[in-house]
Amino acid sequence: MSDWPLPFWIAHRGAGKLAPENTLAAFRLGAACGYRAFECDVKLSGDSVAMLLHDAGLERTTNGHGRAADQDWKALSRLDAGSWHGRLYAGEPPASLEAIAQFCIANRFALNIEIKPTPGHESATGEQVALAAERLWRGSQLRPILSSFSPSALDAARSAASELPRALLIDKPQADWLDIAQDLNCVAVVANHAIWQQQMIDTLHQAAMRALAYTVNDPATADWLTRLGIDGLITDAVDRFSPDTGKACASPMDPGVCSSGTHDR
Ligand code: G3P
Ligand code: MG
């Protein structure tokens, strides 16, 4: 169980919903809230550049149209990935994995890279994201962890960069979850918070693996999972959970520091 890169609290997509997800601006806000570990979604542009984007399509979080997988990074990097969230972030560009790596390495922040393939591109995405991560973090003491809902992507990541730790993501109960995670030599399973049970966490710990939950935004759920022995929580509520104490903040953090994001629509 050594060489584990993540602290207990992890900021989802940079800073949850307080800033435009998966942008460098979100990482900066999450860091301003005290977070030292982040989760982000990474897929490939049409010319195989590893970039941060949750959806296959560009419409929800940028002013672009169509799939990122069909466009070159040069064009994608000029999009506005901030205005959808609010005027404060107008002009914020999509982030490359390289930009996020520079930010995390310079600050010694930990990163959970969720490999989020465009459907049909699972193996290529796993391979290219793992190769990029291996190159970008080479020589760094704090390596990223690669996670995915796609066993194919994790298998390709293992072949490309076997030394980078991997985690299986699961959204719903499935009988073969432990077998899949062990077959892929995963060091952790990251599950939807609603499906964790004491026996699952105990089973993982007996197998020398860790158990993490997403996306935990209320104190009662965080307390319950902590009592079960969960090893990490991924949260949107970076203004409400203190990453240092593991406890919910008594009151929301200074809005001037941590609640500057507004959803205009
Ligand atoms: O990596 C945990 C979580 O981010 C998985 O779900 O849809 O928010 O990427 P999603
Ligand atoms: Mg994700």
Q: Could you tell me if the CB of 39 is within 6 A of ligand 1?
A: yes
Closest CA to 116 of 124, 108, 107, 125: 125
263 confidence band (pLDDT: 50, 70, 90): very low
The pLDDT score that the predictor gives to residue 264 is 34
Average pLDDT of 55-73?
Answer: 98
Average pLDDT of 14-36?
Answer: 98
12 in active site: yes
What would the two tokens of residue 59 be?
A: 């419409």
What would the two tokens of residue 74 be?
A: 């040069």
Closest CA to 48 of 123, 140, 139, 154: 123
The pLDDT score that the predictor gives to residue 249 is 58
pLDDT over threshold 50, residue 225: yes
pTM: 0.94
What would the two tokens of residue 163 be?
A: 């030394």
Q: Which residues lie below 8 Å from residue 8, measured CB to CB, with a gap of 6+?
A: 231, 232, 233, 243, 246
Average pLDDT of 84-103?
Answer: 98
| Tens-digit pLDDT profile for residues 172-222 | 999 999 999 999 999 999 999 999 999 999 999 999 999 999 999 999 999
Q: Could you tell me if the CB of 230 is within 6 A of ligand 1?
A: no
CB-facing half-sphere around the CA of 264: CA atoms within 13 A: 11
Average pLDDT of 245-258?
Answer: 55
Q: Could you tell me if the CB of 114 is within 6 A of ligand 1?
A: yes
193 in active site: no
Most ligand 1 atoms within 8 A of CB, residue of 9, 10, 114 to mutate:
114
Q: Could you tell me if the CB of 234 is within 6 A of ligand 1?
A: yes
Average pLDDT of 148-166?
Answer: 98
The pLDDT score that the predictor gives to residue 259 is 44
CB distance 195 to 175 below 8 Å:
no
Q: Which atom of ligand 1 is least distant from the CA of 234?
A: 2
Query: How far is residue 205's CA from residue 22's CA, in Å, rounded to a whole number?
Result: 31
What would the two tokens of residue 149 be?
A: 């809902």
The pLDDT score that the predictor gives to residue 256 is 47
Query: How far is residue 93's CA from residue 109's CA, in Å, rounded to a whole number?
Result: 21
pLDDT over threshold 80, residue 261: no
DSSP string covering the chain: --S----SEEEETTTTTSS-TTSHHHHHHHHHTT--EEEEEEEE-TT--EEE-SSSBSTTTSS--SBGGGS-HHHHTTS-SSTTT-GGGTTPPPPBHHHHHHHHHHHT-EEEEEE-PPTT-HHHHHHHHHHHHHHHTTT-SS--EEEES-HHHHHHHHHH-TTS-EEEEESS--TTHHHHHHHTT-SEEEEEGGG--HHHHHHHHHTT-EEEEE---SHHHHHHHHHHT-SEEEES-TTTB-TTTSSB-SS---HHHH-------
Q: Which atom of ligand 1 is least distant from the CA of 114?
A: 1
